[in-house]
Structure 1
Amino acid sequence: MDHTLAPAQNISGPLAPARPPVDGVSDSGHNIHDDAGADENPTYEAVMEAYQASGKDTERFRYSQLKLDCFFKGRTLRSLRRATVQRYITLRQTAGVSPATINRELDDLSAAINWYNFLHELNLPNALVGMSLPVPEGRTRWITRGEAQRMISVAQAMAVRPHLPSFIQLALHTGCRRNELLKLRLQRVRTEEGLITLESEDTKTKKHRVIPLNAPALEALDTMATWRAEHCPTSPWVFPSPRDHAKPLSTIQKGFRSLCTKANIDDFRIHDLRHTCASWLVMAGVPLLVVRDLLGHSSIEMTERYAHLAPNQVHDAMRRLEDAWFQLKDGSTVGRGLSRS
């Protein structure tokens, strides 16, 4: 099936006069094809290409697309049924993929379909609506400060370069995501002010975020600065690739797994460094709304998974209620209230 725009129609009679420029912008580039009708039964490929052309696709979207391509390529939008989507879900589940990952893939394709509809002012069916899987509550694996110090000490002893121990220390004391740190540019770090400023293109949620730097975080950055000064002083990255200093470090997965084994830290992933930071903050009495903003959570619900780590805050709140009650009983507060009325 040909998915190009409809060919131009033969026009008889004199040509219509050119449109006058609007606000100084010439319309000389106007093409009659611009207003032609869009394909009302596009292929999966056409939908994904339109979404990519919009600039809305992210690194996560492109990873999802690698999986979606294997199943949906060559299918037209109107041929998609919920049963088709369910087959995709079943295949991914059989491959051992988590419900959260499957949902992200479905959400990304659904977003592309919705964009195609919006862009071309269509109302094509979206068979992915309502197909999300129930997702169990996210894991909140975290380690103690003693375990964290042991992990860093082992990393320092086993690593040839300071990248791994510095990454761990910086992640624990900023709560940044893995790629936010691996792709962190020096221009985003303001050590004199004690801040990391992440712009929308740096974050998963596409939102600007400012992260204060405490002493351990500054120490990790200083360690990397010393290494860069000796090996690659012109590199723009906080964590340069040892092989190509013009590029950032792409992964620490292998070294991290080996480190956890040597440090006797079980069932611990790189992302759990972020969980650990959040857990430490909550246990230190930092309000959940502040933790949400520091970590850049997209919703307070994501932060609330840590609420159980701060039972003292709940007890303190109830004690305040108790104090107010006894003040009312002894008449001190009641008297002040009556005198105002």
Structure 2
Amino acid sequence: MRWRYVQIPRLALPDSKTGPKTIYLNPQAIEILSGLDRRADDQLVFPALHREGPINLGEHWIRIRRKAALPDVRLHDLRHSFASAAIAKGIPLATIGKLLGHALPETTARYAHLADDIISESADRICSSLAGALGIAA
């Protein structure tokens, strides 16, 4: 990621698997980026310390997982967890798809199975409410 893409409160990425992408930053990400020394627009935000090019997360990610006691967590699992949390908060799949940068709704629909418990619980609450309104014991 280059500094020219950092346009607080978002990242404006010129290219991704699905074309240009806007990523909206949360307050924590904004705080981290704001705390970094801003270099020239064409410079990397997170350069490697001992060579040219971006950071390779390989060894760092292994240490992070070990320290967090999550040895099998992959970076992609974080996207899945993000989608799960969004579904649990009742955020529509179309919005989640935009947040994840999915070009097609079908891609986000793969996460729909995560909502099964929420849907079941919602159905129970609705039925209980209707039964109560009709004077039927739930």
Match of 1:253?
58
Match of 1:276?
81
Match of 1:186?
3
Query: In 2, Cα distance between the equivalents of 1:209 and 1:315?
Result: 35
Match of 1:286?
91
Could you say what the CA RMSD is over the residues aligned between the two structures, in angstroms?
2.8
Q: Are 2:101 and 1:296 aligned?
A: yes
Normalised by the size of structure 1, how large is the TM-score? 0.33
What is the DSSP-based 3-state SS (H/G/I as helix, E as strand, rest coil) of the residue aligned with 1:271?
helix
Gaps of 5+ in 1: 1-183, 330-341
Q: Are 2:36 and 1:221 aligned?
A: no
Q: Residues 3-82 of structure 1: matches in 2 within 5 Å?
A: none
Match of 2:11?
196
Which structure 1 residue ranges, 4+ long, deviate > 6 Å from structure 2?
A: none
Whether the aligned pair in 2 keeps the contact of 1:285 and 1:313 (CA below 8 Å) is no
Q: Are 2:45 and 1:238 aligned?
A: yes
Query: In 1, Cα distance between the equivalents of 2:29 and 2:123?
Result: 32
Larger radius of gyration: 1
**Identity in percent:** 34
Gaps of 5+ in 2: none
Q: Render the CA deviation track for 1:36-63: whole Å, top value 9, x for unaligned.
A: xxxxxxxxxxxxxxxxxxxxxxxxxxxx
- Residues paired across the two proteins, number: 128
Relative contact order, higher structure (CA 8 A, sep 6+) = 2
Q: Residues 243, 266 of structure 1: CA spacing in aligned structure 2 closer, same or farther, 3 A cutoff?
A: closer
Greater strand fraction, Structure 1 or Structure 2: 2
Normalised by the size of structure 2, how large is the TM-score? 0.74
Q: Residues 220, 272 of structure 1: CA spacing in aligned structure 2 closer, same or farther, 3 A cutoff?
A: farther
The correspondence for 2:23, drawn from 211, 224, 230, is: 211
Alpha-carbon offset, residue 287 of structure 1: 0.6
Q: Residues 77-226 of structure 1: matches in 2 within 5 Å?
A: 184-191=1-8, 194-199=9-14, 202-205=15-18, 207-223=19-35, 225=36
Alpha-carbon offset, residue 297 of structure 1: 1.9
Alpha-carbon offset, residue 243 of structure 1: 2.3
Whether the aligned pair in 2 keeps the contact of 1:281 and 1:291 (CA below 8 Å) is yes
